[in-house]
Amino acid sequence: MSRLQKPKNTQSLIHEFSSLEDGNMSFLWGEENKVLENRERFFEKNGIDSAQCVVMSVWDENIIEEVTHDTPKGVKKDDSIKADALITREKGIAFFLLTADCLPIVLFDPEKKVVALVHAGWKSTDAKLCVRVIEILEKKYGSNPADIVVKIGPGIHKESYVFKKNMREYSNEWSPFLEYVPGGGVMVDIVGYNRKQLLDTGIRESNIKISEIDTGQDKRFFSHHRAKKTGEKEGRFATVVMMK
C-alpha cells in the first residue's frame, strides 16, 4: 500500500493509516467486538499501545484539545473525547482519527517537539481549523511555521468531490477551489484550499506532503461520498500519529 514519504526530520514520528484490508474502525458501522479487534490488530502492527491512545470524537464544532498524560485514554466505545483537533508535546501518546473522505492532517514541529492531528472536513476547512491550530502552536509552544512539517493523508480529491445539486454557500475565499461543471453542480477542491491556508501561515511548500490517494476512487479505502453512489457497505479507516 502507498505511504506518504517520511522526511528525515520526522523519523521520530509514527504516522500511519489503515485501509479496507485492516477492516472497519468505527463503532457506528460495525459490531463492537469486531471493531475492537480491528483496532487492536492495527495498533499492534504499528507498535502502539492502545492504552496510550486518544480517540477523537469529531463534532464539526472546531474544538481543539491539548492532550497530556492526564488526558483520558483508551480505544473502547466510550473512551473517545470530543475534539476536531488534538495537540500534544508528550511522547508516547497516540492520536487516533476516523475518516472516510475528510482529510486527516498531521502538523509536526521537530524543533519544539509538538504534534497535532486535525480533522479537515468541509466545515472545519471553511472555519480554517488548521490555521487556528497553527496559531496555538505559535503562541503557546513557540513554533515557527517555517519549521512545521505537514502531512495530508488519504481523502477525497476534487475529481471525486462533485455535487450535482449544490446547496452550500461558499465565501469568496473558496472561489479558486470551486469548479462549476456543465449541467449544474460544483467540483470542490478541499485539498487545495487546505494547502493554501497552510501556505498562508508561513509553512514552507516543501514541508507539505499530500497523499495522492483519492478516497472517492480508491476502493482500498472507505468513502462515504462513493458509498452514497454505489450502495457499498460503509466503514471508516484510521489515521494514527505518535511521537516516539
CATH architecture of 8-156+204-227+235-243: 4-Layer Sandwich (3.60)
The answer, yes or no, to whether residue 231 has pLDDT greater than 80, is: yes
Residue 236 has pLDDT above 60, yes or no: yes
How far apart (Å, rounded) are the C-alpha atoms in residues 157 and 215?
8
Which residue type sits at 85?
A: A
Question: 150: closest CA among 196, 213, 91?
Answer: 196
Give the single-character DSSP code of 84: S
Please report where in the chains the cell 461543471 appears, as a residue.
Answer: 181
Q: What is the widest separation between alpha-carbon atoms in the chain? A: 54
Residues 6+ apart with CB under 8 A from 81: 54, 55, 56, 57, 65, 71, 72
Cβ–Cβ < 8 Å for 218, 149: no
What mean pLDDT do residues 78-90 have? Answer: 97
Rounded to whole angstroms, the Cα distance separating 69 from 52 reads 8
Tell me, what's the pLDDT at 208? 98
Strand 94-99 to 149-152 pairing: unpaired
Averaged over 34-60, what is the pLDDT?
Answer: 97
The model's confidence at residue 167, banded by pLDDT at 50, 70 and 90, is low
CA distance readout (Å), 77 to 57, 69, 81, 97, 234: 10, 20, 11, 14, 18
- The mean per-residue pLDDT over the stretch 39-55 comes to 97
Domain ranges within the chain, ordered by starting residue: 8-156+204-227+235-243
Size of the chain in residues: 244
Query: Is 90 exceeded by the pLDDT of residue 6?
Result: no
Average pLDDT, stretch 130-143?
A: 98
Distances (CA, A) of 201 to 20, 55, 127, 198: 34, 27, 15, 5
Burial tier of 28 (Cβ tally within 10 Å: 0-12, 13-18, 19+) = exposed
Q: What is the mean pLDDT of residues 58-78?
A: 96
* C-beta of residue 155 within 8 angstroms of C-beta of residue 99: yes
Contact of 194 with 105, CB cutoff 8 Å: yes
Mean pLDDT, residues 165-172 taken together: 77
The CA distance from 240 to 140, in Å, is: 24
